[in-house]
Structure 1
């Protein structure tokens, strides 16, 4: 439900431009969009809880809390001032407007720690030793911000006749994208190579680039099935060669090019 087998989308903004996108993201209807939103919110909440727990255990200094008798604040059941909804947020915003980012973060984390939710979190994590808390907090941060930053993989190839090919791999979770542009004058050929991946025969779409020892594998992270590879191969060659298409025996690379693709594919 959250992910699918790699499938192809083709977009042709103009007769000289074609974009081929292979993704594992299913069609986004309203229920699925809401589910993804809830998943991202849960990730953010877990990451925030981990940061707050680590701050409260290792960096929080009770002596640094400003004493402002003229600014009464409601007390929590534990007797600590609830600064999250009072002067703590105002002070944090003042630091932010002044460009004092470290003071803003410190004040905001202190206010969050002294809130009812923060005190409850500290109460439940109090029995843990420092090493266990640090390990758990870092594990949660790694899992939510790095390891599971995206549920899907999306890779695309943009073909611009007369200019070249742009290869793009989108990284979810705010990680941006990885791109590479290959000019037309550097492109020697676009081939489909056949290679073994484990005990399975896979088909790789590759670009032979002038001056490079290894071929460039398109869609290396997804390795779509043969039908998609052949459709993209026909579209890329057709766009680069001004609408002419090649069929038959030219679709499979042999010899040294096939070996280069096989080594590249196994590495990916």
Structure 2
């Protein structure tokens, strides 16, 4: 999905550029689809946790002395069905599958990148993480450390992609602004050309 550019001017000396390839949720059908996606993610998360608990039930989840009466859970019809479903598999296979499912639940599927330019102070770049569990990677570059701002070109397959880069004093690599949107992949840095 192509990214959308949003430009804001919070003050006369500040401008913010943000690029996002997140789906637009402007109409009611998109909002309903997003709500269904959240419900599906919640259901997959609960099923993955319950399947992992059911496979490790003999080691850790037995007895009725805890808040949850596990013997009653495992003897219920849904509990019996889940136990019969996961018992033939190795505990580590069930744990790995549950971990992959949980990772998929918390994966965003889109990126948001922004650059904030503050006249006289510097620029701040930010790239969102790929999951909901971690924060965005943010970096502030003071004006005194900026040597130059250039537009580079990169080759990806048979196409040429242009990207904005900041040459920072004392660093061997340039800082790429909008690394995911401009190049289509996130790389740690690009050597000066």
Q: Per the shorter chain, which TM-score range?
A: 0.7 to 0.9
The one of 5, 9, 12 aligned to 1:12: 9
Give me the whole-angstrom Cα distance separating, in 2, the residues matched to 1:210 and 1:139: 41
| TM-score normalised by structure 1 residue count | 0.60
When residues 45 and 36 of structure 1 are mapped into structure 2, their CA distance, relative to the original with a 3 A threshold, is: same
Count the aligned residue pairs.
Answer: 185
- Give distance in 2, aligned partners of 1:162 and 1:25: 32
> Which residue of structure 1 aligns with residue 33 of structure 2?
35
Counterpart-to-counterpart distance in 1, 2:154 and 2:78: 55
CA RMSD of aligned residues (A): 2.9
Other-structure match for 1:167: 125
- 1:96: which partner in 2? none
Q: Which residue of the partner structure matches residue 187 of structure 2?
A: none
State whether residues 217 and 261 of structure 1, in contact with CA within 8 Å, keep that contact through their aligned partners in structure 2. Answer: no
Deviations 1:219-246 (A, max 9, x none): 1111179xxxxxxxxxxxxxxxxxxxxx
Query: Structure 2: any 5+ residue segments left out of the alignment?
Result: 185-189
Distance in 2 separating the partners of 1:6 and 1:198? 20
Bigger relative contact order, structure 1 or 2 (CA pairs below 8 A, ≥6 apart):
1
Assess if the C-alpha contact under 8 Å between 1:208 and 1:216 holds in 2: yes
Q: CA deviation at 1:28?
A: 1.5
**Whole-Å Cα distance in 1 between the matches of residues 122 and 84 of structure 2?**
59
* 1:91-128 Cα distance to aligned partner (Å, 9 max, x none): 4xxxxxxxxxxxxxxx4988866665444433433444
> Structure 1: 5+ residue runs without aligned partners?
67-87, 92-106, 226-258, 263-268
Q: Find out whether 1:24 has 2:15 as its counterpart.
A: no
From the superposition, tell whether residues 193 and 130 of structure 1 become closer, same or farther in structure 2 (CA, over 3 Å). closer
Q: Which residue of 2 aligns with 1:197?
A: 156
Which one has the bigger strand percentage? 2
In the alignment, which of 25, 46, 49 is matched to residue 47 of structure 2? 49
Counterparts of 1:181-260 in structure 2, within 5 Å, are: 181-223=140-182, 260=191
Match of 2:135 among 176, 187, 192: 176
Equivalents in 2 of 1:174, 1:135: separation in Å?
19
TM norm structure 2: 0.80
